[in-house]
Amino acid sequence: MTPEPSRWPAALRGRLAFGGDYNPEQWPEAIWNEDVALMREAGVDLVAVNVFGWADVERSPGHHDFSRLDRVMDLLAAHGVHVDLGTGTASPPPWLSHQHPETLPVTADGVRLWPGGRQAWCPSSAVFRERALDFVREVAVRYRAHPALSLWHASNELGCHNAHCYCDVSAAAFRGWLRSRYGDLDRLNEAWGTAFWSQRYGQWSQVLPPRAATATPNPTQQLDFRRFSSDELLGHFRAERDLLREITPAIPVTTNFMVTQHIDALDYAAWAPEQDLVANDHYVIAADPEGHVELAFCADRTRGLAGGGPWLLMEHSTSAVNWQPRNVAKRPGEMLRHSLAHVARGADGVCFFQWRASRAGSERFHSALVPHAGTDTKVWREVVELGRVLDRLDEVAGTRVEAEVALVADYQSQWAVEADSTPTVDVTGLDRAHALHRAAWAAGVTVDVIPPTAELGSYRVVLVPTLHLVRDDTARAIDDYVRRGGHVLVTYFSGIVDEHDHVRLGGYPGAFRELLGVRVEEFFPLRVGEVVHLDDGSIADVWVELLHLDGARAEASYADGPLSGVPAVTCRRAGEGLAWYCATRLDDSGTFALVQRVLEKAGVRPEAEVPPGVEAVRRHGDDRSYLFLVDHTGQGATVSASGTELVSGTRCDGRVHVPAGGVAVVREDG
């Protein structure tokens, strides 16, 4: 798997960290003493400071006033609160763009974006990079020996708003990236397929980012630009990290990923090995009635990026957020459930945005640990309760989640499948990933969500949902995994193109055709609202394929629709393993039945026998295990378990009660 980051902050080892973003520059200094007193009351032991502090400290170019930040750092240290110190470079101060408007990003249609929001900088700007690193050096030198400093927080949510810049500076950097990737224009022209539409390039100066064009831009050009953009921001992170390591080699460095349903700008599989520890921000989508299942997917993916090791939940919300169309408040107990669901899936720290709810600015209606209404509130009482529960669970820190099932998810494949000029807009990169993961979640089975480069040998089952873009080495690894005894389930529109986004010829599903024992001659996307029925009773929509068996057997076929009688679900024995293929978009019940069948054939059992809607996950240490049980039904449950229930501190001999809408964590006997 991905190399495991091992530089967990020394001061936080052996405990579950608890805290959030602290922005004292937004408040009169008279409030700070109340802040630290409340932090002690809640059990907060880690806060992120100076995340957006650049304009406050360097109010004019080269003139730094650290006096306020000095007092904050000293106050936190005096009260035993550790600091995740921000480099402050997420958003430049207004004076920088005023002096250098060329540092501002430009959209694909040529519009320059101005300051007033955040992240108003071009990732390729040498001027921004120089000024940012100057500020990072000032901060690092100032606080390198400060007793509160435990972790470095490089920038913040990199790429959230400025992932893609199309300005002339970015264009030159893109050409440099392409030269490094391809070497010469002949290879570039071949990779981009520029023989189509008379796009062949004769000079490097002719090559541009995929700016707004008269028709759909070149697909491989778009894909490479997304790769370049991810790498460009990664280069900025590396520059900050390397400078911090030079000045404070003993302090680990991280930045906060955004592994969540709606953000896919960066290839975090390339970013994760560059972190001393993996950290993530996650916010539940209030409109999703199964938001807790999406949370589980994102936590499992973050753990997969961390190589199975502990990771840090850098941000989530105590209640409502501020940026969704309808910012729904969390119900009583929901914050505790969400927090411990992350811990169950590998988080060794639970942090929030932010400590005290802002009274001004774009996020003034975002919930916080200390709400606008103060401490006589539901939110504050739940914050204090969460701090006490996390203290009781400290012994879980450092243990690992061990899964028998993996799900392969790839950012670059998602970029390719969601580009324009595909057979249907209804096929998206993560739709089947979430569907298969949701089916495993409902079956009580834990899943590692892993990048295509991860090792597969330890898993009984590997799920491959809509892995559209597949490299040859990935296809070989999956083939070898099955022939050695593994079980794989591949869904439609997988294996179709290579790393250059070129279609693999000879019949679909391309890279997996031989392994699966099928040959698809044509896609048959369905119209909006059109459904088909299978002869096993399943219902499907969006997608069907004209499929021929070539060594596989049909497990289910279409009973109606444009391809009545054609196989829809197949299975083939390959070596010692089984290779399953699903050529259509099954509904939830059909997906669950198929996944359940695959799991049973592979001998995968649920973590615990629990009622529907009760989440069960297990973390393992060297000599003990911990069973997490989270009730999302509001009804409570009784589950077979023996050991000590850590939330309540009670003994359970054979049965444990999970409170209605609550959580139980059992340190298991044996």
Catalytic residue positions?
Answer: 157, 315
Q: Would you list the DSSP string of 583-632?
A: -SEE-HHHHHHHHHHHHHHHT---SS---TTEEEEEEE-SS-EEEEEEE-
In angstroms, the Cα distances linking 184 to 173, 202, 226 are 16, 10, 20
Q: Would you list the DSSP string of 406-462?
A: EEE--HHHHHHHTSSSSS-TT--TTHHHHHHHHHHHHTT--EEEE-TTS--TT-SEE
CA 389 from chain centre, in angstroms, equals: 26
Q: What is the DSSP letter of 398?
A: T
In angstroms, the Cα distances linking 625 to 30, 335, 575, 644 are 46, 24, 35, 11
Residue with structure tokens 């501020």?
322
In angstroms, the Cα distances linking 464 to 111, 159, 396, 593 are 39, 27, 31, 17
Task: State whether residue 568 is helix, strand or coil.
Answer: strand
Under 8 Å between Cβ of 583 and 547: yes
**Max CA separation in the chain (angstroms):** 76
Task: State whether residue 651 is helix, strand or coil.
Answer: strand
Task: State whether residue 658 is helix, strand or coil.
Answer: strand
Residue with structure tokens 């850590």?
646
Under 8 Å between Cβ of 225 and 283: no
> Per the structure block, which two tokens stand in for 150?
């435990």
Under 8 Å between Cβ of 446 and 434: no
> Per the structure block, which two tokens stand in for 465?
């949902």
